[in-house]
Structure 1
C-alpha cells in the first residue's frame, strides 16, 4: 500500500506537466487537408520460374484530377525465393509538384533505390500479403541542383476477401484493405522520424489471370520535415494490376 501511495503521489505531481506538454504539442501541430487522386499501374512479369521484372507507373493529382501532385515511375528485378516469397531490387523516379496550403518552393525530383520482400499467405478465405521495403532516397532541391540523402523503412499488411466463393477467381469481385507505415532514419532526418501512414479500403474485380482492377479510398497522414505540419490527404485510388507470365506455365 505504501508503494502504491507513492506511485499515485508521483502521478499527481507529473500530471500537470504531462497535460501541459500534450496541450503544447496539439497547439504546435498544423493540419493540412487535401483531396487527391492517384491513378496507378502495377505489373510483375514472370520471365522464368525464379526471375521476373516489376513495372509501375503512377499519376498522382491534387484536387482529384485538376492539379499535378506527383509522377512516379518504378521498376525492379524480382526473384522468387519460394512460391509465397519474392525479393525485389529496384529503382524509382519521382517528381513532386507544389500542392496544399504548405507547398514546396517548386517541383523537385527524387531518385530512389529500394529492396523489398513480399510474403503471401492466407487465413481461411482471407488472403494476406506482407511487404517489407527499405529505400535509399536522393531528394533534389527545388531551388538548386543539390540532393539530400535519406533512408526510409516501410511495412505494409494487405488483406483481400473474395465476395463469391472461397478464392478470388476470374470475373469475380473482392474486397481489399491495407495499412502501411513509413519510418525515416539516418543522419539527415529532421523531426519527421514518423514519415507517414496509409490506410486503404477498396472494392476490386479480377478480369482474368493477368488483369485486376481496384477502386478505393486512401487516408494518408504525412508529417512534413518540420515536424509540425501534418497532411491529412483523402485520396481516390484507381489501381490496375496487370501481370504477364512469359513462361507460359499458366
Structure 2
C-alpha cells in the first residue's frame, strides 16, 4: 500500500522536474543566441519586501510588495517598484490574485536609455502549489497589462509623450529544500520566463529569464528572509541588445495575518 502511494505521488513531480529542467535549458539556449548580438553585463543588488497578509478569517488577503533595485552593485539606481494587490484563497494550494504596479526605470549599464521612465501595470495571477518528491512546488502564472511611458524632452526635462501599451505573461516554478531538521533554514530554487505579446510588440517576444538560487531562514512562523543570487537575461527593445545581469538579492517575506484584536474580557 505504501509503495503504491509513493509511486502515485512521483508521477506528477517527474513531469514538473522535467519542465523545470526544460526551462533552464531554454535559458541557456537564449543566452547562446544572445552572444551574436551586443551584450551588456551588469552587477545589481535587489532588495524586496513581499507580504501576503490574510484579512480576518476569510479567504481575502492583502498583497503588499516593494522593491529597490540598484545597479553597479549599489552605486546607481536601476529601478524601484511598488505592487499592491488582493489575494483570494480558494484552497490551501490555490490562490487567485490581482492588483496594480508602478515602476520607475533609470539609465544604467553600457547601453543606457537616455532618460528615466515610468510604467503602470495591471496584473492578475494564479498560484498553485503541489507536494512532490518530498518538496513543495509553487507554480505562478501572471498576466500583465503594461503602460510604458514614452518620453519627450522639453528643455532640460523629460516628460511622458505617450503611454505604449503591451501585454506580458510570466511563468515561475519554485521549490525549497530544507537544510536543517527544524526546516527553518532552506535552499530555494526558482526559474521564471517572461514573454511579450500584442500588436505593439515586435522583435522581442522573449522578454527575459530569471534563474535564482538562494538560502532562506524562517525568522518566525510568519516571516522569513532570503539571500540569493539571480541571473537575469533580458532582450532589450528591438532585440539587438541583450543584458546579462548578475544580481544579489535580499528578500523579506511575510504572511502575518491582519486580524482585529480580541476585545478585552469584561469583568462580571
TM-score scaled to structure 1, two decimals?
A: 0.85
Q: Choose from 42, 45, 52 the match for 1:37.
A: 45
Equivalent position of 2:166 in the other structure: 150
For residues 1-250 of structure 1, the aligned pairs below 5 Å read: 28-47=36-55, 48-143=57-152, 144-145=159-160, 146-165=162-181, 168=183, 172-247=184-259
SS at match of 1:207: strand
- TM-superposed deviation, 1:42: 0.2
SS at match of 1:189: coil
- TM-superposed deviation, 1:190: 1.9
Measured in 1, the distance between the counterparts of 2:126 and 2:211 equals 20
What number of residue pairs does the alignment pair up?
Answer: 220
Measured in 1, the distance between the counterparts of 2:120 and 2:145 equals 8
Measured in 2, the distance between the counterparts of 1:27 and 1:208 equals 44
SS at match of 1:81: strand
- Aligned-residue RMSD, C-alpha: 1.5
- Where does structure 1 differ by over 4 angstroms across 4 or more consecutive aligned residues? 25-28
**Structure 1 stretches of 5 or more lacking a match?**
1-24
SS at match of 1:65: coil
Please give the per-residue CA displacement for 1:39-63, whole angstroms capped at 9, x wherever unaligned: 0000000003210110000000001
Equivalent position of 2:16 in the other structure: none
TM-score scaled to structure 2, two decimals?
A: 0.79
